[in-house]
Structure 1
Amino acid sequence: MAAARHSTLDFKLGAKADSETILKGLQSIFQEQGMTESVHTWQDHGYLATYINKNGSFANLRIYPHGLVLLDLQSYDGDAEGKEVDSLLNKVEERMKELSQDTTGRVKRLPPIVRGGTIDRYWPTADGRLVEYDIDEVVYDEDSPYQNIKILHSKQFGNILILSGDVNLAESDLAYTRAIMGSGKEDYTGKDVLILGGGDGGILCEIVKLKPKMVTMVEIDQMVIDGCKKYMRKTCGDVLDNLKGDCYQGNCVNLTEALSLYEEQLGHLYCPVEFSKEIVCVPSYLELWVFYTVWKKAKP
């Protein structure tokens, strides 16, 4: 499947830009590529020039009078086309240095964004930033009654579980699982434990190693369990193969039942509590996550 390569080159000049000089100085570079030009002018607002190549690629050059110059170039994502784009960007950058010797400012070239490819490498973080992953394979992609479930392979993070566009867990993220469990500060030996969610099996896999009395995992989406037990085995081990073991059992219930169980647990918090906080880097999220451990305050 063909994809489009979107390249950018930004200049922030150190002084007021001479828009007309910059426009004329860059024209010859685009003309050498056989690109036709269309220029729009706004009084006191600079220029917008569009250059179109016969092969379908095009560039937008926006020149603002306050010193900001933006170049956006879109082309087919092929090896030959990529080299031509890099050559064009290099020439524009060199010419801009010549044209702005007295107003030297900041130059920023971002890695090209590949749009419309077979594999989507771009996923948002929880705080709205866009991250490009080194994803090279779609391992699993299905729609359940609740959500879209994707498992994608990353060279760095292993298989990554993505639920409705939200990065959920990767095989690299054992630190995340252990932080949820209290990072060794909690003693689960001989205790009853309830896990709400966790269909990836990560918490269940780790907590059964600590010899609890019984672990009950409640998950609303059977398809998450099915996908993870096949493609996330470095995370879940074999605990999802059979949802009943010596000290654990898994249940797949509907949303109403899950919320009911959750509200029941929240009811235990209506008393004085104390808490501790831990900050953990979750590798595949490229984020720091804050975990709180809450417990009932001891009576004086």
Structure 2
Amino acid sequence: MAGHSVPVDFRVNPAKISNPVERKTLLQDMLPLIEPFTGSLTEISVCEVPGGNFVALYASDTMTLSVKLYSNGLVTATVEYYTDQVNEHKIANDHGRALEKQLMAKFDCSVAKVLPAIKRAPPVNPYFTSSDDRLLEYDTDGIVFEEQSEFQKVQIYSTKSFGNLLVLDDLQNLAEQDLPYTHGLMNKDKEDFAGKEILILGGGDGALLWELLKEKPKFVTMIDIDDVVMKACRKHMKSVCGTCMDNYDGENYKIIVGDAIKYMKDYIKEGKQFDYVFGDLTDVPISPTPRGQLWDFLRTILGLGIQCVRPGTGKYMTHAIGIQCSSALKMFEEQFEAQDIPVTLTRTSHYVPSFMEYWCFYQATRKAA
């Protein structure tokens, strides 16, 4: 059960909009191309709006057609209807392509595009966004877990393409098919974790811990503040976390439910250091400047994390954001440069299936004192 909105957009000579006779003819000629999908349409209103633009509204028994005509020749139309079958389209892809050709021929268009229906408020949300705010549609078919923890909204969606998908505060976090994300964070096959002491900051889905344990480290400490995430993933994302979160104290690992900042401060006081520290917490924020609560949090984690790394050989490893967010990545790299402790910084990228984009990862080697 959802509303469907089908965008039908094209461009014409601006004279077809500004001239009253041609404008009326355009609207009249457009209706027969749309009515095979909507049924007979009746004019409800046509009026001028600021900027020399016009809007028109038509209705059939079950659908509406709204049209906006811009003075520069752009025509944006929307066919809207309600349906009990969320994934069944009244204007299928092939029909949309045929309609584009009809519009091009009828109005001598420079461009015409009919998009698949946008699903409005369906029972299960299918939409998330890329790191640069492009709309992504997922083949979600249910929500297997949902709880508001003390820290965030925790959901696990079921999807056909990516398996179960962990979503935190309405942002996709990790899916069962996202092993490339975890391997990218590890810089797998380029790092030697055998016999090493490792600290994971965050990582509540358990994927990083599970993959690191396969590398035979000396000991891994994982600190995540939200036990709701860990319990949910332990039950619904077993293919990601394996059995490592069945017991929080393992032979060569320990999971701590707590504040990573507090524990890092304690480690620094004790003089305890690690061969690898993984920052698997928040993504790099998208903002005009590196200011605000999220940037402050990121800088705190970064500064403490680098202090916990062994000089000379130790590395601080973290994820960032999509490769297309060049400004945010540049600001993030500047945070490394601003640290009191110098590091050698490298960057890699890997395609993450459920993100539908290449994601950036950083490796910062702490220089010798």
TM-score clears 0.5: yes
Instruction: Supply the distance in 2 between the matched residues of 1:207 and 1:264 (Cα, whole angstroms).
Output: 22
Select between 34-43 and 84-93 the one with higher mean Cα deviation.
84-93
Deviation of 1:54 (Å): 3.6
1:210 counterpart SS class: coil
Deviation of 1:104 (Å): 3.1
Instruction: Supply the distance in 1 between the matched residues of 2:89 and 2:258 (Cα, whole angstroms).
Output: 54
The TM-score, its normalising length taken from structure 2, stands at 0.72
One-letter identity of the residue aligned with 2:154: I
Residues 19-40 of structure 1: CA deviation (Å, up to 9, x unaligned): 2320232356659615342111
Instruction: Supply the distance in 2 between the matched residues of 1:182 and 1:12 (Cα, whole angstroms).
Output: 48
Deviation of 1:94 (Å): 6.5
2:262 matched to 1:257?
A: yes
Structure 1: give runs of 5+ residues left out of the alignment: none
Verify the 8 A CA contact 2:104 2:110 in the aligned structure 1.
no
Select between 223-232 and 207-216 the one with higher mean Cα deviation.
207-216
Residues 80-139 of structure 1: CA deviation (Å, up to 9, x unaligned): 9x6765699789757634532xx3311111110111111110011221111001111211
- Structure 1 match to 2:360: 290
2:71 matched to 1:73?
A: no
Instruction: Supply the distance in 1 between the matched residues of 2:146 and 2:352 (Cα, whole angstroms).
Output: 23
Deviation of 1:267 (Å): 2.8
Deviation of 1:276 (Å): 2.2
* 1:83–1:196 distance in 2 versus 1, CA, 3 Å: closer
1:246 counterpart SS class: coil
Percent of aligned pairs with the same amino acid: 32
Structure 2: give runs of 5+ residues left out of the alignment: 17-21, 267-300, 309-338
* 1:129-278 alignment runs, 5 A limit: 129-254=134-259, 257=262, 260=265, 262=301, 263-267=303-307, 270-278=340-348
Aligned length: 295
Residues 159-186 of structure 1: CA deviation (Å, up to 9, x unaligned): 1100001110011111110111122222
One-letter identity of the residue aligned with 1:267: Q
CA RMSD, 1 decimal: 2.9
Deviation of 1:235 (Å): 0.5
Verify the 8 A CA contact 1:19 1:47 in the aligned structure 2.
no
Deviation of 1:241 (Å): 0.6
- Structure 2 match to 1:62: 68
Instruction: Supply the distance in 1 between the matched residues of 2:155 and 2:44 (Cα, whole angstroms).
Output: 43
Deviation of 1:147 (Å): 0.7
Residues 52-95 of structure 1: CA deviation (Å, up to 9, x unaligned): 2343x322111223221111121012469x67656997897576
- Structure 1 match to 2:9: 10
* 1:74–1:202 distance in 2 versus 1, CA, 3 Å: same
